[in-house]
Amino acid sequence: MSMDEGIAALRARERAARVMGGPEKLRKRREAGILNAEERIDRLVDPGSYVETGLLAVSSAPGANARDTPRDGKLAGFGRIEGRPVAVVSNDFTVKGASSSQTNMKKIGHVKRVATERGFPIVFFGESSGARMPDNMGARGMGTQLGNDPTQYVRHRESPWVSAVLGQCYGSSAWYTCLADFAVMRKGAVMAVASPLLASAAIGQKVDPEELGGWKLHSEVTGLIDRVAETDEEAIDLIRRFLSYMPSHNNETPPRLPPPDQAPQDVAARIRETLPENRRRVYDMRKVIEAIVDPASFFEMKPAFGRTAVTGLARMDGATVGVVANNPRHKAGAMDVAACEKITRFLVMCDSFNIPILLFVDTPGFVIGVEGERMKAPGKIMNFMTALQLCTVPKLSVIMRKSYGQAYLNMGGGRNSDEVSAWPTAEISFMDPAYAVQVVTWGRDVSDDEKERLRQDMERDNSVWGLAEIYAAQRVIAPEETRDHLIQMLDFHQLRRSNGLGRHKLAGWPTTY
């Protein structure tokens, strides 16, 4: 074959690969408002930056027809987002349902290794029917296709992983989503261990896809999804925004943007407008956070899961920070099992990628009762506590109102933060005075007047001044001073000796627990 003939053959194979599953399948996706595998990549990366690997790859299974498996159903390659490198895997559901096979898993393994070793994020666009049949059947199928990459499902958090659930996601598409640092799901997509058809056969009754693994389940009940999107485009834009807060790898600090032209205006008015004088009234913690961080910079994670807590990324004077806060709008801010899981996972991510943590405290403690105990509440609380104590990035806490019991420690009280500040409205004790009176008078005939006297005494002892006098709070500040105080303390607590890098003690923490 001459060079000209070889190049002509190459161009013909490239054209055949780019046809994907054919015009008819691609047309149906367009009509449904769903991007195809190539369009998702084009939306994600900077124009002209994408370089594909494995364009000519096809199925290697005995008897397979190469024309039926262009790119073997998975696109893989490298591009840039805002100039920074990123690896991408985009499942092409128009080819064999993007099912996993020997060839396409090699492609994933390759870009994953390159991204990890060279130090940049990897993005998975999930839409797959699972393992390809009959390729994976039998001893030879299993021995050939599974387990040949011992690090396939291992997370050491060397670089950020992101996953989008954009259709049917079974098998490896679900696994990579559970391993990701950030997972977004489009409404109408489904993520589960196996398809509804297989699940129905296994249990002998029809299973509804939404009930099996829809967006409400995973954003509100399991907590496996961080954000929900209406469209593919919105999901991809959320990915780009998430990555803008993150370093490319764990041995660099997050990118810093120029400080805002103007500090947030009327911080004091906005906080005081939000925070009720009556400590028993609820308020929206998000409004307090947004009044303190850089304008329009708060990016919330898991807003519909573990709603007694708020977690998210933000910027302070242009620098990335992680925010953990109690949310009095739900259960008065008392943390339940879901909130513990949500906060723990967020702490793991922040410590792994050198992101300082701000804790905004207003909680009466942990939710108690039979249901919590059945969900292993003590273990979840200790997971949360362990993760906080193992964090090696700066931790700054602000006690706004209530901080009671074990939750005082879990939210950074004592030496569990590098710096504790408090507002004059802060209240600190072992438990709410009303409950404390019930405990100390249990089994005794005590008048209402005596109970009221005890309650008032306990409330006086709760004041912030006692915390400041024994130096358990380093500063008492007015709410309007919070932003400037935190920016100053973040500067003093920078990890200068290690160039801003933590020790990543949580890098191998399980992704779900």
Give residue-wise pLDDT tens across range 9-28.
999 999 999 999 999 999 99
How much is the pLDDT for 433? 62
Q: Which phi and psi (to 5°) does residue 120 adopt?
A: -150, 160
What is the rounded CA–CA span in Å between residue 24 and residue 45? 26
How much is the pLDDT for 261? 79
How much is the pLDDT for 391? 97
Looking at the predicted structure, is the pLDDT value of residue 151 above 80? no
With pLDDT > 90 as the criterion, what percentage of the chain qualifies?
A: 71
How much is the pLDDT for 233? 98
Of the candidates 451, 208, 255, the residue with the CA atom closest to the CA atom of residue 353: 255
Residue range 81-107: mean pLDDT, rounded = 93
Mapping DSSP to helix (H, G, I), strand (E, B) and coil, where does residue 110 land?
A: helix
Homologous superfamily of 267-426+463-498 in CATH? Answer: 2-enoyl-CoA Hydratase; Chain A, domain 1 (3.90.226.10)
163-182: per-residue pLDDT in tens? 999 999 998 899 999 999 99
How much is the pLDDT for 369? 81
How much is the pLDDT for 231? 97
Provide the pLDDT confidence category of residue 453 given band limits of 50, 70 and 90.
confident
- For 35-113, strand residue ranges (E) read 51-53, 74-81, 84-91
How much is the pLDDT for 475? 97
The mean predicted confidence, pLDDT, of the chain is 89
What is the topology classification, in CATH, of domain 3-149+159-245? 2-enoyl-CoA Hydratase; Chain A, domain 1 (3.90.226)
Looking at the predicted structure, is the pLDDT value of residue 62 above 60? yes
What is the rounded CA–CA span in Å between residue 270 and residue 298? 16
Residue range 39-63: mean pLDDT, rounded = 93
Mapping DSSP to helix (H, G, I), strand (E, B) and coil, where does residue 486 land?
A: helix
What is the rounded CA–CA span in Å between residue 226 and residue 210? 17
How much is the pLDDT for 140? 63
Residue range 204-227: mean pLDDT, rounded = 89
- Domain limits, the chain: 3-149+159-245, 267-426+463-498, 433-462
Cβ atoms of 46 and 83 closer than 8 Å: yes
Residue 458: Cβ within 10 Å count: 19
263-308: per-residue pLDDT in tens? 666 776 788 888 887 777 889 999 999 999 999 999 999 999 999 9
How much is the pLDDT for 133? 64
Residue range 467-473: mean pLDDT, rounded = 94
Looking at the predicted structure, is the pLDDT value of residue 148 above 90? no
How much is the pLDDT for 276? 86
Which residue blocks in 391-481 are alpha helix, DSSP H?
Answer: 406-410, 433-440, 448-461, 464-469
Helix (H) / strand (E) element for 299: namely strand 299-301
Looking at the predicted structure, is the pLDDT value of residue 441 above 70? no
Provide the pLDDT confidence category of residue 153 given band limits of 50, 70 and 90.
confident
Provide the pLDDT confidence category of residue 198 given band limits of 50, 70 and 90.
low
How much is the pLDDT for 494? 92
Looking at the predicted structure, is the pLDDT value of residue 439 above 50? no
Topology alike, domains 3-149+159-245 and 267-426+463-498: yes
Residue range 313-329: mean pLDDT, rounded = 97
How much is the pLDDT for 224? 96
Helix (H) / strand (E) element for 361: namely strand 357-363
How much is the pLDDT for 370? 80
Looking at the predicted structure, is the pLDDT value of residue 145 above 70? no
Which residues fall within 8 angstroms of residue 208, CB to CB, at 6 or more apart? 196
